[in-house]
């Protein structure tokens, strides 16, 4: 089968935009909860910005299946290279950020850090729901969920490849229903939060895989007009729910709105024909830096608090601007000084 590389790159450009928007929305959400920043009529929407982590996991599954659509991971060598590339792309920066946090901001004792070390190294902290507020895990939990999703991706890929379209749709609906119903159980019985639970985040990831495998050909959806409509509906529904104080803070309950709308956005952006997006070096770079952008939010709040107090920053807009600028600067530094050189060196050493 001949792959239209130009079409694939066009898709990647639209999805780059989605990735950058998701990363920015999470930062604005943190500005709201940590610095009480106000966003005018969009404050309610931004206050629920954590729902964009659902977008992140769905997009990750979609893009990974797109990347490996024509490849088989059932043999040991390609499977080994798949896992090595994923680990090389994630672990160096994750380990560095974790060490920086433990050394500079961590409140755990030496013994506690030693006990945690194997769990942190293996990325298993999300399996322990009560570890979310321990050490750096409130900022790096998504790495753990992503590593576990990557672990099961080869199985997800084979399932998506071999199932008939009807079966894929039924499985996708089943995953969505589990995601929609489970937060009600949490709310009704006051159980531990499932926000950082790898099983439920894995379902979001798998939905992305299934979406990509379906190869949706609804061309009328793949226009800027429909993307704008999808965004407006998302903003309107979440803003209205937040204004009515409906389950505010229970972010996973909003999957009933977020999952179908994010799915539509991914389908729309995957098929947009936009030379401006395709040729945008800024967008490509912003997408490449997005992983570091997510990670630096683990500790940039403390730096911002220090700067705001030292410079006596009271202005709402200035706080938002400084937060974005600081996060961008730190992300670029980590990307250029750690992420890129580590990936290049390790891939040349271990990947074939």
CA separation for the pair 85, 58 (Å, rounded): 20
CB neighbours of residue 142 within 10 Å:
20
Nearest to 152 by CA among 71, 209, 197: 209
Domain residue ranges of the chain, discontinuous segments joined by +: 5-350
Residue 249 is predicted with a pLDDT of 77
Residue 228 is predicted with a pLDDT of 94
CA separation for the pair 157, 61 (Å, rounded): 10
Nearest to 97 by CA among 298, 319, 283, 291: 298
Report if pTM > 0.85.
yes
Residue 8 is predicted with a pLDDT of 42
**pLDDT, tens digit (0-9, with 9 covering 90-100), for 81-133:** 999 999 999 999 999 999 999 999 999 999 999 999 999 999 999 999 889 99
SS3 306: helix
Nearest to 213 by CA among 69, 317, 17: 69
Query: What value, to the nearest 5°, has the Cα angle with vertex 139 and ends 341 and 36?
Result: 120
Q: Where are the alpha helices (DSSP H) in 190-244?
A: 198-214, 224-243
- List phi, psi (to 5°) of 158: -65, -40
Per-residue pLDDT of the chain (352 residues), as tens digits, is 333 444 444 457 899 999 999 999 999 999 999 999 999 999 999 999 999 999 999 999 999 999 999 999 989 999 999 999 999 999 999 999 999 999 999 999 999 999 999 999 999 999 998 899 999 999 999 999 999 999 999 999 999 999 999 999 999 999 999 999 999 999 899 888 999 999 999 999 999 999 999 976 666 677 889 999 999 999 999 999 999 988 877 899 999 999 999 999 999 998 887 888 888 999 999 999 999 999 999 988 889 999 999 989 999 999 999 999 999 999 999 999 999 999 999 988 887 6
Q: Which residues contact 122 (CB under 8 A, 6 or more apart)?
A: none
- Tokens at 282, concatenated: 């800024």
CB neighbours of residue 101 within 10 Å:
18
CA separation for the pair 16, 10 (Å, rounded): 10
- Torsion angle of alpha carbons 310, 312, 317, 318, nearest 10°? -50
Residue 219 is predicted with a pLDDT of 67
Q: Which DSSP string corresponds to 332-346?
A: HHHIIIIIHHHHHHH
Nearest to 94 by CA among 298, 329, 303: 298
């Amino acid at each position: 089968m001949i792959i239209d590389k130009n079409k694939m790159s066009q898709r990647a450009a639209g999805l780059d935009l989605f990735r950058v928007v998701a990363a920015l929305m999470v930062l604005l959400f943190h500005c709201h909860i940590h610095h009480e920043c106000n966003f005018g009529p969009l404050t309610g929407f931004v206050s629920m910005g954590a729902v964009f982590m659902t977008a992140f996991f769905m997009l990750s599954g979609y893009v990974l299946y797109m990347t490996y659509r024509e490849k088989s991971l059932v043999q040991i060598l390609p499977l080994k290279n798949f896992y090595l590339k994923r680990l090389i792309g994630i672990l160096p920066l994750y380990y560095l950020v974790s060490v920086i946090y433990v050394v500079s901001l961590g409140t755990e004792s030496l013994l506690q850090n030693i006990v945690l070390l194997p769990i942190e190294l293996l990325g298993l902290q999300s399996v322990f729901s009560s570890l979310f507020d321990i050490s750096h895990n409130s900022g790096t939990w998504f790495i753990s969920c992503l590593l576990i999703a990557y672990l099961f991706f080869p199985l997800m890929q084979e399932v998506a490849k071999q199932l008939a379209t009807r079966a894929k749709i039924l499985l996708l609906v089943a995953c969505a229903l589990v995601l929609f119903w489970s937060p009600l159980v949490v709310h009704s019985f006051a159980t531990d939060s499932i926000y950082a639970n790898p099983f439920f985040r894995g379902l979001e990831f798998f939905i992305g895989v299934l979406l990509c495998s379906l190869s949706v050909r609804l061309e009328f959806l793949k226009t800027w007009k429909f993307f704008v409509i999808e965004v407006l509906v998302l903003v309107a529904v979440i803003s209205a729910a937040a204004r009515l104080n409906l389950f505010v803070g229970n972010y996973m309950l909003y999957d009933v709105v977020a999952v179908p709308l994010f799915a539509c956005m991914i389908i729309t952006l995957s098929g947009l024909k936009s030379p401006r997006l395709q040729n945008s070096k800024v967008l490509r770079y912003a997408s490449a830096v997005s992983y570091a952008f997510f990670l630096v939010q683990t500790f940039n709040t403390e730096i911002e608090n220090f700067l705001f107090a030292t410079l006596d920053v009271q202005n709402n807009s200035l706080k938002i601007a400084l937060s974005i600028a600081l996060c961008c600067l730190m992300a670029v530094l980590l990307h250029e000084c750690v992420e890129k050189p580590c990936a290049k060196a390790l891939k040349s050493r271990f990947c074939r």
